[in-house]
Amino acid sequence: DRSERSFDKRDSFKRSDRNDAPRSFDRSERSFDKRDSFKRSDRNDSSRPSNRKFDGDKSRNFDDNKNFGDKQYIKRPKKKAEDAEDDGLVRLNRYIANAGICSRRKADELITAGVIWVNGEPVTELGTKVDPATDEIRYNNERLKREKNVYVLLNKPKDYITTTDDPQERHTVMELVSKATKERIYPVGRLDRNTTGLLLMTNDGSLAEKLSHPRNSISKIYNVELNKSLTQGDFNKISFGIELEDGVIKPDDLSYVQGGSKREVGIQIHSGKNRIVSRIFESLGYEVVKLDRVVYANLTKKDLPRGRWRYLEEREIVQLKHLI
């Protein structure tokens, strides 16, 4: 409910120290919009003649190699996609990981140890690529086959660690999905031990890597419960961006939870930095009592109780891949 979010950047300072005529503002119907804060019509354009001519067509088309005075603008050729150059080849460590043997890091160790054979020959060079369609890859004298891709969505409860193996023998999310598939799946990203909510798990390494990469800006929505009410002033500070030790962070959206107290807020964010949501509120003196991820990319918790999992539907997989 954002009815109480009436604020304006221009209200944060006064211009009464300038030699301007007194101004009056009618704020009854004003809503903040960046486009309203500057209008070209406010300039005294008549004092600055321009030689620019516009034909009314917003699209500006330039010839590929056209001279503009002494400068020549040359259209750069597009780079070839890596996938096109690889002709379907994949790195050997990825192939081993996709076969469910181990992680890519462990696969590199197997390769350097000389226990991976390709087409009857041992391979020890890291970065080797293979053709899944024609090459025969063996480990322990068994031919490796690529697993089918599996996509599992878990509604994580508290007190479970987001890892495939914990040396301290604490509960891990892998226990919750042990019956989901025989393939070796692993979490995409992570949730802290006491954070609940959506966690995607898959053996699709390519998709997992893209979803985790910051450049793809995958959106997440969290429900946050604080130890005290979030003041309107702090609400505004977070909305405009908070300076943390590793840079400024600005949420995509922020609101009080409808029907709840001001201790409960919803925040939408695409940053994947460690404990980013908790650190935002802690920087202003709040303690996060509960943190629940309710949306991940295009996925929601609808009909998925806490501690349960389900397979992604085909349309959800397609939508996920289209996001990146």
- CATH number of the structural domain spanning residue 136: 3.10.290.10
Closest residue by Cα to residue 137 from 106, 96, 97: 96
> Do the domain assignments include residue 36?
no
The pTM is what?
Answer: 0.62
Q: Which pLDDT score, from 0 to 100, does residue 212 have? A: 87
CATH of residue 317: 3.30.70.580
Residue type, 3: S
CATH of residue 225: 3.30.2350.10
Identify which has the larger pLDDT, 262 or 11.
262
Q: Over the stretch 127-168, which tens digit does the pLDDT of each residue have?
A: 999 988 788 999 988 888 877 889 999 999 999 999 988 888
Rounded distance between C-alpha atoms, residue 131 and residue 139, angstroms: 16
Rounded distance between C-alpha atoms, residue 3 and residue 270, angstroms: 25
Tell me which residue range forms the domain holding 103. Answer: 83-143
Do both 231 and 289 map to the same domain? Answer: yes
Strands 137-139 and 116-118: antiparallel
DSSP sequence for 198-237: EEEEES-HHHHHHHHSGGG---EEEEEEESSPPPHHHHHH
Do both 262 and 319 map to the same domain? Answer: no
Do both 186 and 320 map to the same domain? Answer: yes
Identify which has the larger pLDDT, 47 or 208.
208
What is the pLDDT averaged over residues 31-57?
43
Rounded distance between C-alpha atoms, residue 267 and residue 249, angstroms: 12
- Assess contact for 277 and 226: CB atoms under 8 A: no
What is the pLDDT averaged over residues 13-17?
44
DSSP 189: S
> Do the domain assignments include residue 176?
yes
Q: Over the stretch 78-116, which tens digit does the pLDDT of each residue have?
A: 444 444 344 678 899 988 887 878 888 899 999 999 999
Among candidate residues 1, 192, 252, 253, the one labeled active-site is: 192
Catalytic site includes residue 192: yes
- Assess contact for 176 and 271: CB atoms under 8 A: no
- Assess contact for 194 and 225: CB atoms under 8 A: no
Total domains in the chain come to: 3
Q: What is the mean pLDDT of the chain?
A: 79
